[in-house]
Amino acid sequence: MKIAIIGAGLGGLACALECERLGVIPDVFERDESVGWGFTCITHWLHPIHRPKGDLYDYLRKFNLDLKPINKCNELVMRSPNKETIIKGNIGYIMRRGKHIDSVESQLYRSLERTSVRFNRPADYKELSPKYDYVVVATGNRTAAKELGVWKDIELVHVRGGVAFGAFKPTSTTIYFNRKYAGKGYARLGPINSTQAIVGLYQIGDSEYEVDSHYKNFLEFEGLENLEFNYEFSVPMWTGGRVDKFHVGNVLLVGQSAGLMERFLGTGAIEALMSGIFAARSMLKGEDYDTLVRPLQDHIESVSSFRKPFESLDNDGLDRPISFIDTPGVKQLIYNTGLNIVDILGPMQRQINKIVNMIGRDEVES
């Protein structure tokens, strides 16, 4: 069987590894000269978002993925304009991304035993499709899904940030919510180690000029303007969305190319990895890919559903949920129990969102 994988990111490499395990060596095409994003980044794999998977490191090992974090995340600080809450416990893992030797992408790449990645080789699924039994699109963008007619645009996202020097707690991360500089998005400070941290602003829908201005305001408002930056970066705006089909003809969409990134806090690494594995199993074991991946999308949509009520809050409103989370017993319920809060409340919130949207449309039409 001939399999082509376009993109050597999380989904593409996980798919290649599973193909190897199942006895087929795929052709992997990567347009860059090496694996990993071109800018330094860390991501947080948070247990509370991914219950009932349990410990995420142990969970992925069940699928033959042994991915080492750079640190455990034992402290999560959430700040609104006038409130702060600190959650402590076994919250998750801090993972390095990009071209560093310890990045998730580099770890996956080193795990390949027989598969060669063809670097500096842009590829088009339309050209490869007639030549291969299957083509897996793992490019991290919507182009293929849009051309295949299965993509729906939902929002524009822009990231502005940098790597700062200072004194940081490596096992802690801070998330900031403030309408004045973050708008519908958020900001964060995530340590790489005790002397370096990623400082970033994640904006929804604003122009590049506005994001630059808001980023400056964020640093000033949170008292971070005196940090010494090793370098700063601006990630080109991308479109978040969802697909209604994951498998079209002999083309399979994985990871962000399949819309598997939630639109509340921007997580999606676990879904990228799992969709890559499921794509391989679908191609080589005859399992239905849409059936395998649909629960991943349902979970993504459950997390994303909380964005709508979040967007309706002003700065005073943002203080209220932060205060609520700080209530005795609530922290333990959310972070230190096995209760699957997201997938219990998410479907309910999705239905509420649908009703609100219907009421809004009726009011416009009337």
- The pLDDT assigned to 342 comes to 72
Assign residue 249 a region (left: φ > 0; alpha: ψ between -120 and 50; beta: otherwise): left
- The pLDDT assigned to 56 comes to 95
- CATH code 3.50.50.60 region(s) in the chain: 3-73+91-154+239-304
- CATH code 3.30.9.10 region(s) in the chain: 155-238
Decide if 210 contacts 185 (C-beta within 8 A). Answer: no
The amino acid present at 27, given as its one-letter code, is D
Angle at 166 between CA 105 and CA 200, to 5 degrees: 50
Q: DSSP letter string over 8-44?
A: -SHHHHHHHHHHHHTT---EEE-SSSSSS-SS-EEEE
Alpha-carbon gap, residue 176 to 222, rounded angstroms = 9
Strand partners, 251: 135, 248
- The pLDDT assigned to 364 comes to 45
Report CA torsion sign: 135, 10, 287, 46. negative
- The pLDDT assigned to 343 comes to 72
Write out the two tokens for 8. 């050597």
Under CATH, which architecture does the 3-73+91-154+239-304 domain have? 3-Layer(bba) Sandwich (3.50)
Alpha-carbon gap, residue 3 to 24, rounded angstroms = 8
- The pLDDT assigned to 351 comes to 78
Question: 115-150 as b/e, with b when 16 or more CB fall inside 10 Å?
Answer: bebeeeeebebeebbeebebbbbbbbebebbeebeb
CATH topology of domain 155-238: D-Amino Acid Oxidase; Chain A, domain 2 (3.30.9)
- The pLDDT assigned to 89 comes to 87
Closest CA to 156 of 112, 110, 188, 203: 203
pLDDT truncated to tens, each residue of the chain (366 aa)?
A: 999 999 999 999 999 999 999 999 999 999 999 999 888 889 999 988 887 888 999 999 999 999 999 999 999 999 999 999 998 888 999 999 999 999 999 999 999 999 999 999 999 999 999 999 999 999 999 999 999 999 999 988 889 999 999 999 999 999 999 999 998 899 999 999 999 999 999 988 766 668 889 999 999 999 999 999 998 988 878 888 999 999 999 999 999 999 999 988 888 999 999 999 999 999 999 999 999 999 999 999 998 898 888 888 999 999 988 888 777 777 666 666 666 667 777 677 777 777 766 665 555 455
User: The whole model's pTM is what?
Assistant: 0.92
